Chain A
């Protein structure tokens, strides 16, 4: 499978990465180089193999309880923009 330029633009949009038009061809070449190398996985027989996500098996459950909170100042301390106790962003609703 080889990416065309439209797909490179679509993937960049899905990933929320602004890509300059001049960089699309370079990215296309790099991504296709990596994907072409990954293509060798298609030759492995995976019939009947259960996929694993790794991470040492089943995740541990915990009780659905509030264990933390009341630290708005700490959380907002690194915000690029804030309005009182809220994160500030450009207007999204007209």
Chain B
């Protein structure tokens, strides 16, 4: 097996035995990036020299017996996390030259544990999108191909499209992502890898460029459930600099993944079957439930009656928060600036030139639903429906320990498909967005291929702050699925 196929757990073992150095591991991955990134466009910024220096420092620490949980492991960072001294664009023109003077808490914790960052990876602009096509730095090519169509470029999903493509193509062993409506789980499913969005408050949002603050949550991508557990363990924990960070202990996620599912009650929401679910996705879902039943879980039908309202609710709440959060990009303190006749004209021209179409649409929707006369009809009503959606889950979790659903309504689509109308694109997140509205942990695990040879994922949703059960169920699906297919484009 090539070092490029190692997961984090295997690499840790090899590093511990001295079979490979962090520098060798880093150089091998940088070579892969050099070869494949011109095509995939997964990285916006590659920090090769810094990575080699960091890998050497890691080898030196190891020589002294100082070995962190991610000592010497090559990772990529979604370009939404501020990294001190390294350009952070959020996928937007407006931050094209922004160099943060500080480090996000999540990346600081990964560095504390010895991780080596190879660079900053592509995303939809300000994490708004499900295809990575709204990035000002170009789309990302999904390393998977439809059988018989090697020239059709598929999207990696979004918004964390660069993270998912980089991990799937073996350019890195893991990556950070953020998930506001499905931005970790959907690209993980599209790229045939594992991704976890933990409970709201589990990972600090300090230093993460804000999109919708009540929904944004950092999480991890890797090629196995265990590796995701290792990454999330490093990223999690209380941070006084984020007022919504939860002061709760971080359990051993990797140990929890091995608990098994015997005796667990797994909920299957009947509302997720509605609305023309494809036969292939329905069959995969049934297969997943059968695996869990075989592993000793009990399958229970549940109802989440307000499911169909989750996506339109999200498209009030998220743009409202975005319109507020993105007000800071005014061309004065940081970011790009356009000339204007006066200060107001400077603001308006700076924002018009700096933001892409999707970001502008969402800012305008958000501004409208918060404006005088419409606040009650839209925003307040959405907050009430959000309460109903949360209550649906609370009721369900009185009867079950976890919920299993498909991650996405389809496999990866091609560039140019689903782009004629914004709402069609929004429907990608129909199965994932509920967990964000309710603040619950959710994970996507690759479970099979469709008839075109593209990966499909199953989603596990857990109780608030019960990532342990999510990992256990995810691991049981992973073990039964024995997903071993590989993308067409990889190192």
Contacts and interface: CB of A to CB of B under 8 A. Distances in A.
Contacts of A3: 368
- Counting chain A residues whose Cβ lies within 8 A of the other chain, the interface size class is 35 or more
B251 interface: no
Given A15-B323, A15-B363, A80-B331, A54 B439 contact: yes
B49 interface: no
A25 interface: no
A77 B384 contact: no
Given A38-B312, A41-B309, A78-B333, A56 B246 contact: yes
A1 interface: yes
Given A31-B361, A59-B244, A16 B333 contact: no
Interface stretch (B111-119, B281-289, B341-349): B341-349
A51 interface: yes
A1 B348 contact: no
Contacts of B312: 37-38, 40-41
Nearest to A59: B243
A87 B346 CA distance: 14
Interface string B191-223: 000000000110000000000011100000000
Interface of A: 1, 3, 7-8, 11-19, 27, 30-31, 33-35, 37-38, 40-42, 44, 46, 49-56, 59-60, 62, 71, 74-75, 77-81, 87, 89-90, 92
Interface of B: 97-99, 101-102, 200-201, 213-215, 240, 243-244, 246-247, 306, 308-309, 312-313, 315-317, 323, 327, 330-337, 340, 342-349, 351-352, 355, 360-361, 363-368, 371, 374, 377-378, 380-388, 390, 421-423, 437, 439
5 contacts: A1-B377, A17-B348, A40-B309, A52-B390, A80-B332
Given A15-B366, A42-B381, 7 more contacts: A7-B368, A13-B348, A19-B352, A31-B368, A54-B215, A74-B102, A78-B101
